[in-house]
């Protein structure tokens, strides 16, 4: 089993409940998409699995360990086995792409090797190969603040490809890409996970991408698991009730929108 949650609750530091009674088991090598409306708890769930947040209640097992029973040092070692893909990768703006990709292995390298790599890229060819899989090889020596949002997301994914972790957690990994690029990039990420037999969990707003790339779909709503099914078993009714938005429904305009007033700009 790659990860398992039993009766997990999460309450944020400000008292906001985000997850309630989560039961979830994911086997080695599974690819799971987490879908659900804004504020449902997808990011909170991924942050909890990344051990950046501690459950308020319940049991969490990750890669064969109970992370919150480990020492700080052991938990750091566990974290080095997890690859995180962020919606907005937290990359220093002036950092070169090559350094950002190589940083994927910082958790596996000695401190000396890590520091050296920050000063002088030690494996430019490895970083370039990871970027090439995402058609971004030519950006190797660009600065991160010179890239578009979608290119930055691909750098974040290249970093995880280079890291070769045992588990990948991806939070909205392709949200800044056009539909064709998003589909292609998700294909590369899924193919890598499948080839290496590792587990991949990704939160996605694009339901069609989730159904196209992930054999198992978990719907989250109001901090709870609304459904957990193989993609073939997900019905339109599942999706309709997952995304039902009572608040918006009450505010829908009853008549067509009124044309904006014609502005009369005085001539000077």
Task: Tell me how far, at minimum, the Cβ of 174 lies from ligand ATP, in Å.
Answer: 14
Cβ-based burial of 162 (10 A; exposed 0-12, middle 13-18, buried ≥19) = buried
**Minimum CB distance to ligand ATP smaller for 2 or for 203:** 203
Closest by CA to 35, choosing from 249, 225, 244, is 225
Binding site for ligand ATP (CB under 6 A): 12, 14, 16, 18, 36, 38-44
Task: Tell me how far, at minimum, the Cβ of 194 lies from ligand ATP, in Å.
Answer: 25
Query: Please, are residues 148 and 172 in contact by the beta-carbon 8 Å criterion?
Result: no
Pairing of strands 3-11, 17-26: antiparallel
**Minimum CB distance to ligand ATP smaller for 130 or for 209:** 209
**Minimum CB distance to ligand ATP smaller for 39 or for 149:** 39
H/E element, 42: helix 42-49
**Minimum CB distance to ligand ATP smaller for 16 or for 69:** 16
Query: Please, are residues 106 and 114 in contact by the beta-carbon 8 Å criterion?
Result: yes
Task: Tell me how far, at minimum, the Cβ of 172 lies from ligand ATP, in Å.
Answer: 7
Residue tagged 């947040």 (tokens):
53
Task: Tell me how far, at minimum, the Cβ of 241 lies from ligand ATP, in Å.
Answer: 16
Task: Tell me how far, at minimum, the Cβ of 87 lies from ligand ATP, in Å.
Answer: 8
150 contact partners, CB below 8 Å, separation of at least 6: 174, 176, 177, 178, 181
Q: Residue-wise over 36-62: b if at least 16 C-beta within 10 A, else e? A: bbeebbbbbbbbbbbbebebeebebeb
Task: Tell me how far, at minimum, the Cβ of 201 lies from ligand ATP, in Å.
Answer: 13
**Minimum CB distance to ligand ATP smaller for 172 or for 192:** 172
Please name every residue paired with 62 in a beta bridge, in sequence order, or none if there are none.
3, 65
**Minimum CB distance to ligand ATP smaller for 46 or for 103:** 46
């Amino acid at each position: 089993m790659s990860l398992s949650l039993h009766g997990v609750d999460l309450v944020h530091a400000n008292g906001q409940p985000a997850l309630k009674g989560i039961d979830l088991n994911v086997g080695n090598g599974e690819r799971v998409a987490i879908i659900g409306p804004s504020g449902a708890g997808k990011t909170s769930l991924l942050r909890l699995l990344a051990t950046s947040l501690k459950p308020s209640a319940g049991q969490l097992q990750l890669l064969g360990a109970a992370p919150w029973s480990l020492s700080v040092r052991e938990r750091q070692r566990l974290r080095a086995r997890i690859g995180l893909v962020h919606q907005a990768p937290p990359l220093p703006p002036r950092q070169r792409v090559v350094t950002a990709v190589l940083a994927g292995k910082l958790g596996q390298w000695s401190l000396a090797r890590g520091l050296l790599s920050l000063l002088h890229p030690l494996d430019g060819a490895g970083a370039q190969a990871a970027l090439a899989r995402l058609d971004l090889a030519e950006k190797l020596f660009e600065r991160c603040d010179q890239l578009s949002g979608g290119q930055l997301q691909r750098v974040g994914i290249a970093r995880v490809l280079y890291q070769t972790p045992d588990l990948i957690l991806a939070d909205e990994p392709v949200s800044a890409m056009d539909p064709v690029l998003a589909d292609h990039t998700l294909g590369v990420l899924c193919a890598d996970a499948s080839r290496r037999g590792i587990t991949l969990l990704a939160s996605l707003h694009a339901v069609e991408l989730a159904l196209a790339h992930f054999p198992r779909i978990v719907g989250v709503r109001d901090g709870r698991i609304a459904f957990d099914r193989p993609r073939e078993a997900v019905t339109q009714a599942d999706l309709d009730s997952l995304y039902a938005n009572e608040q918006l429904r009450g505010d829908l305009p009853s008549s067509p929108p009124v044309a904006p007033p014609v502005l009369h700009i005085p001539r000077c």
